[in-house]
Amino acid sequence: MSEEFRTIKYDKSEDGVARITLARSHKRNAQTLELLSELNSAFDQASHDESVKVIILGAEGRDFSSGHAGPGKIDFKEYEPVTTWSGYGAKGAEGQWAMEQEFFYGFCMRWRDIPKPTIAEVKGWVIAGGLMLMWPCDIVIAAEDSKFTDPVVAFGVNGVEYFAHPWEVGVRKAKEMLFTGEVITAEEARSLGMVNHVVPNDELEAFTNDMAKRIAKRPMIGLKLAKQSVNQMQDAQGFRTALQAAMGHQQLGHSHARILYDGIPVDPKGQELVQEVLAKWKDKK
């Protein structure tokens, strides 16, 4: 059944390819809980549609995603969870932990485990929570102007909630990325293995569509078996356990901040440090 969405768009071609598009370009596709919930529904829709073999995740506007925004229109009294977590209205660390387990870690793991091939089509800025939309995808195609950063150590936490950094860029670069909050360019991301291809901006959509169509020609059972084999290799290395452990550290950071900053779950001075890094790229293409 097709759904009506407010913050994303959903399209399907006759070639077996579904395209999900982040549609908050006026906010640089910053993520509300509403957007994440709709994105999860769209992924489910494509996953359960037998005519869809490949899923593309792209974005309107100049930037793929500038990270987390406010909660949006989610009412936890009416919201129906898709994971088994609970306690969203609980006070203290319990409520914060529950929300992040559902909307951040839980959603990302669901998307990573979709048995169909997924492709992230990214451009412009991919900041903090934007990485959490890109990293669960199997293949990443980046426009030449793409820039990646996770600056949130500045807020007193360990990194974005889907803590895949060591797998995406390697241990040494992951530490540098987190400690400094500095930007990784598209070409550097490709050299690190985080990005499959870097293409001119005006060729991004065509290149991604072509790859998706080529993948969609292969039998679904083979694609599922190949994806499961690679994901299970990561899991055998401790991927899933390590990410869940990092989520626990995330909650320690939030609890520490709440004590120091009158209930605010992050260090409010972090914004200044983040802006210092981003300001250096203001006039760069």
Q: What are phi and psi of 283, to 5 degrees?
A: -100, 5
- 60-83: average pLDDT: 90
Percent of the chain with pLDDT over 90: 91
pLDDT band at 285 (very low <50, low <70, confident <90, very high): low
Q: How far is CA 63 from CA 42, 122, 270, in A?
A: 20, 8, 22
Mean pLDDT score, 243-255: 97
Alpha carbon separation from 82 to 37, 41, 92, 117, 277 (Å, rounded): 9, 10, 22, 21, 36
Cα separation values, 120 from 79, 179, 180, Å: 27, 26, 25
> What is the average per-residue pLDDT within 127-151?
98
**95-124: average pLDDT:** 97
Q: What CA–CA distance (Å, rounded) separates 106 from 244? A: 10
Q: What is the pLDDT of residue 72?
A: 78
Starting at the edge strand found earlier in the chain, the sheet holding 17-22 runs 8-12, 17-22, 54-59, 118-122, 139-143, 197-199
Residue 76, CA atoms < 13 Å, CB-side half-sphere:
14
Q: Which is nearest to 39 in space by CA: 58, 22, 61? A: 22
The mean per-residue pLDDT over the stretch 125-152 comes to 98
Residue 94 burial by CB count (10 A; 0-12/13-18/19+): exposed, middle or buried? middle
Model confidence at 78, in pLDDT bands (50, 70, 90)?
confident
What sign results for the dihedral spanned by CA atoms 190, 195, 197, 201?
negative
114 closest CA partner among 175, 179, 41: 41
What CATH number does the domain located at 8-203+219-279 have?
3.90.226.10
Q: Give me the percent of the chain exceeding a pLDDT of 70.
A: 98
Average pLDDT, the chain: 95
Cβ neighbours for 217, distance < 8 A, ≥ 6 positions apart: none
Range with lowest mean pLDDT among 80-89, 116-125, 160-169, 189-198: 80-89
Instruction: Give the pLDDT of residue 71.
Output: 77
Q: How confident is the model at residue 59 (pLDDT cuts 50, 70, 90)?
A: very high
pLDDT band of residue 76 (cuts 50, 70, 90) is: confident
Say which residues have a Cβ less than 8 Å from residue 107's Cβ, sequence separation at least 6. Answer: 36, 39, 40, 82
At residue 74, does pLDDT exceed 90? no
pLDDT at 1: 39
Angle between helix axes 239-260 and 220-236 (nearest 10 degrees) is 60
Stretch 112-125: mean pLDDT = 98
Are 83 and 49 a contacting pair, CB within 8 Å?
no
The domain spans of the chain are: 8-203+219-279
- Residue 280 phi, psi (nearest 5): -70, -20
